[in-house]
Amino acid sequence: MAWSLRSGRTTSGRLTSASSGPPAVCPLVLARRQAIAGTAQRLLDAPTCSDRGVVCHGFLGGLFGRSAATKTENKPSIEDNLGAEVDELLLVETRQADGSRAQIVYRNGGPVAAADLEKLCVKVGWPARPLAKVEAALRNSFMVSSLVLRVCLPDPASSSASSEAAAGSNGNGSGSSGGYNGVAGLVEAGSDAIVSETLIGLARATSDHAFNATIWDVLVDPEFQGQGLGKALVEQMVRSLLRKDISNITLFADSKVLDFYRQMGFEADPEGIKGMFWYPKF
Amino acid sequence: MYGHRVEEAAGGILRPPPISRADTEFEESVGVQFVEGREGIRIPELNELFEKVGFPKRDPERLKVALENTYHVIWVRAAKQSRLARQGQLIGFARATSDGVLSATVWDVAVSPAFQRSGLGRALMERLTKKLVEDGIPTITLYAEPQVVAMYEKLGYVRDPDGIRGMAFQRRKKSEKEKTGLLTRA
């Protein structure tokens, strides 16, 4: 699904909406993590479910308040909990029987290769744009946020130690009551060897670095849709922009995705203000 | 199919708007000059203009940052002393943020009320849009208050093409003066 107006319509900027495939990762809620810089924390005290030998950690539905359950005046806002500025946020982690782990990570400001973005565009049905232009657009964007699928293999020397740490924090029994507060975990690099990193989602924003920001090119790999990753991506990006004191965050949305943005706190045509495009008829 | 018609109509490139009145004509009849780029803009004067047209007054330091990170600025200054303005006074302004290649958004279009019937708003927008089109930026956008939508339509802007809507994140904590900070007025 493409959640936003795609910029750069010279090669036809049509909006597409791919159907969502089955969830690739078991959705659960991540435990709250203390944002202590430099402290690698295991996520194993998060609620887990064992399914086909896969231990699944956390997911996002509850992270920012489930919209369905909270259609009230006091609906929580993204603004309520901006959190600390982080470069990376672990959204989902699954562990395979062989000890390898797959993580989906929100990354703010990391380098994104234009070719990877365009591969993703083709996957969601957007025709590829000239790479040089995409590269320049990424470079000149105020903020580039991405979703990265990371596969890690355990380092044999350290795996026992980390299991212990995990057992220890499980044993603390903070357990479920304290664990559902809806803040994703800091990414813990650990000593595991990163085998691969794949771009599976992206959003970027142009801005004057002070008052306004406009979000473009919101997309998630169709293989990973249906898990709330698009929502997490945009919400984290909005948080990052608000943290930088950008008070006016805008975007252009196709009619199919208006509700997607509404539930996050965006409003169409606020105070009657109309989105307009240069589209001369002469 | 947003985008297709544009390519077909324009042969793959967007057309810049025609400049309906030349700079020289404005200088002779209205006594004003167009200036490209932020050089020479005095922040307090810009804030004064914003206040006159009903924009919220901006923090000067942040306004400076915003101008430095604006892709293109165009403004109007009084060419000579008159009963309406002192010489060199900033009387019109428009700017666009952009990534320089794929998309651009126009903000803060303002013309001093004393000059509002001289076609300066249109002239600013023609020049700014022309610059963005000529730089090869295919998606040029803006957010317009209801009362200026018609003016932008006359220029060649289209609202909600193919149902695409402008959206803004609604801050709960925003103060009243921030409320209309995003508008383009002319």
Please confirm, yes or no, whether A180 is among the known catalytic residues: no
What local confidence, expressed as pLDDT, does residue B173 receive? 64
CATH number, residue B31: 3.40.630.30
Min CA distance, A227 vs chain B (Å)?
Answer: 23
Domain around B60: 7-135
- Count of domains in chain B? 1
The secondary element (H helix, E strand) that includes residue A107 is strand A101-108
What local confidence, expressed as pLDDT, does residue A2 receive? 53
pLDDT per residue as tens digits for the range B2-50: 333 333 333 456 889 999 999 999 999 999 999 999 999 999 999 999 9
pLDDT per residue as tens digits for the range B47-72: 999 999 999 889 999 999 999 999 99
Residues 138-177 (B) with a CB less than 8 A from some CB of A: 138-146, 149, 152-153, 156-174
What local confidence, expressed as pLDDT, does residue A7 receive? 61
**Is B83 a member of any domain?**
yes
**Is B11 a member of any domain?**
yes
**Is B38 a member of any domain?**
yes
Chain A partners of B12 at a C-beta cutoff of 8 Å?
A: 10
**Is B108 a member of any domain?**
yes
**Integer CA distances (angstroms), A238 to B53, B80, B170, in order:** 29, 46, 11
CB contact under 8 A, B141 and A266: no
DSSP symbols for A145-197? EEEEEEEEE--TTTHHHHHHHHHHHHHT--HHHHS-S--PEEP--TTPEEEEE
What local confidence, expressed as pLDDT, does residue A241 receive? 95
Min CA distance, A157 vs chain B (Å)?
Answer: 46
**Integer CA distances (angstroms), B61 to B66, B67, B68, B80, in order:** 9, 10, 11, 29
Q: Which of A211, A207, A214, A215 is nearest to A246 (CA)?
A: A211
Give me the interface pTM, i.e. the ipTM.
0.89
**Is B148 a member of any domain?**
no
Kind of pairing between the strands at A88-95 and A185-186: antiparallel
End-to-end CA distance of chain A: 33
What local confidence, expressed as pLDDT, does residue A184 receive? 54
**Is B50 a member of any domain?**
yes
What pTM does this model have? 0.77
pLDDT per residue as tens digits for the range A238-252: 999 999 999 999 999
**Is B46 a member of any domain?**
yes
Of B97, B158, B172, Cβ closest to residue A212: B97
**Is B182 a member of any domain?**
no
Indicate if the alpha-carbon torsion angle B6, B9, B15, B19 is positive or negative: negative
Q: Which residue of A has its CA nearest to B168?
A: A250
* Structural domains present in chain A: 85-155+192-251 (3.40.630.30)
Min CA distance, B97 vs chain A (Å)?
Answer: 6
pLDDT per residue as tens digits for the range A174-217: 333 332 234 455 555 556 788 899 999 999 999 999 999 999 99
CB contact under 8 A, B171 and A79: yes
Residue type, A227: Q
Confidence of residue B144 (pLDDT cuts 50, 70, 90): very high
Across the 282 residues of chain A, what is the mean pLDDT of every consecutive 10-residue run?
52 33 29 26 31 34 37 68 83 90 92 95 90 96 97 70 42 33 52 87 97 97 95 96 94 96 96 93 59
Residues 107-136 (B) with a CB less than 8 A from some CB of A: 107, 129, 132-133
CB contact under 8 A, B3 and A12: yes
Q: What angle do CA B110, B113, B115 make, to 5 degrees?
A: 90
CB contact under 8 A, A211 and B105: no
